[in-house]
Structure 1
C-alpha cells in the first residue's frame, strides 16, 4: 500500500483538506498505517498532476486560503485497481522488539522496565481506540471501518496479554 492509495481511499469517502487527511491518518488509521504529515502535500500535488484528484481553493478572510481536495473519476478507477490487486504481506516494525532483541547487555530490571513500559503503551493504545470507537460510531462508521478498528483492538489486547504473561515468566527466572 502506498500513500497515494491511502489518500485516494480517504478522498473516496468525501472531499477533505490536507489537515483533515492528516487527522484521519493520525487517528483513524494510525494503528495499521504509518502515514506522516510530510507525505500528504507532495502526494496530493502528484495526484493532482495525474488528474486523480482535483483541488478547490476556498478564499478566507483573515487567514490563509483553504485547499479542499476531491477524488476524480480517474482517481476512483485507480483506487478500484488498488482494491482489486493482490494483497501484500503485512510489514511489521517494532522499536520495542528491536530493543528487546538486542538487550543482552541490559540488566534484568531494565528488561522488566522495558516490558512494563510496552504494556503501558498497549494500554494507552487500547484506551485511545476504545474512545475513538465511541466517537466514530456517533459520527457514522461503516461495517468495514468498524472491522478494522476491532481488528486493531484485538491485536493490542492480545499483545498486552502476551507481554503480561511473559513478564510473569521472566520475573520467575
Structure 2
C-alpha cells in the first residue's frame, strides 16, 4: 500500500490530523499498514510540499496546537489517477508457509502444536477483524455505493482468514492419514 495514496484517500473523506490518520490506519480492516508514525508525518510534509494537501493550525487552550490536513484539488486529481492505475496482483507473504516447508523436521506432537498455535492466531485475527467491522468507526459512508465497496473489502479480508483456517484444518486431516516414516 502506498502510504501517500492512503493518506490522500482518507483526506478525501475527511480532514484529519496526523494522529487521527494513525488511528484510522490502526483501526481499519481495509488499510493494513505496519509502518511507524514518522512515516505518516514525513508523507504529510511531502504531500504538503507537492501541493496535494494543505494544513491549518488549530490552537487549543488546554492542549498543544494541532495541524489539520485537507486534500487539495490537485490531491484529488492525483488520488483519482492512482485509483485508475492497473491493479497489482495480491502479494502473499506468509511466514507460516516457510515454517511449514520445513515442518517435516518436527515430531507429530510438535507439528500438531505448531498448527494449534497458528489456528489460534487466525481465530484471534477473525475476532479482531469482526470487531473492527462491527465498530465501523473509520469507514466512510457518504453514499450506498461507497458503503457497499468498503463492506466488500472487509468481507474479502475476513474470507481470507476463514480460507486460511479451513486450509490448516484440511492439512491436519490429511496428515492424520499419512504414516510417519
- TM-score band by shorter chain is 0.7 to 0.9
Deviation sequence 1:96-138 (CA, Å, 0-9, x none): 2222224443333222222211111111111112122222189
1:67 equivalent in structure 2: 67
Gaps of 5+ in 2: 142-146
Deviation sequence 1:153-172 (CA, Å, 0-9, x none): 11111111111121232244
1:34 and 2:33 are equivalent in the alignment: yes
Tell me by how many angstroms 1:62 deviates: 3.5
Tell me by how many angstroms 1:37 deviates: 2.6
Deviation sequence 1:9-64 (CA, Å, 0-9, x none): 1111111111221122122146x633423321111111111011111111123432
Q: Secondary structure at the match of 1:70?
A: strand
1:148 and 2:153 are equivalent in the alignment: yes
1:50 equivalent in structure 2: 50
TM-score, normalised to structure 1, is 0.88
For 2:73 and 2:117, the matched residues in 1 are separated by 47
Q: Which has the larger displacement, 88-97 or 138-147?
A: 138-147
Q: Who wins on radius of gyration, i.e. which is larger?
A: 2
Q: Which has the larger displacement, 96-105 or 137-146?
A: 137-146
Q: Which has the higher helix share?
A: 1
Report the count of equivalent residues: 172
Gaps of 5+ in 1: none
Q: Which structure has the higher relative contact order (CA within 8 Å, separation 6+)?
A: 2
TM-score, normalised to structure 2, is 0.84
Q: Any conservation in 2 of the 1:3–1:35 contact (CA below 8 Å)?
A: no
Distance 1:172 1:82, change over 3 A: same
CA RMSD of the aligned region, Å?
2.2
1:163 equivalent in structure 2: 168
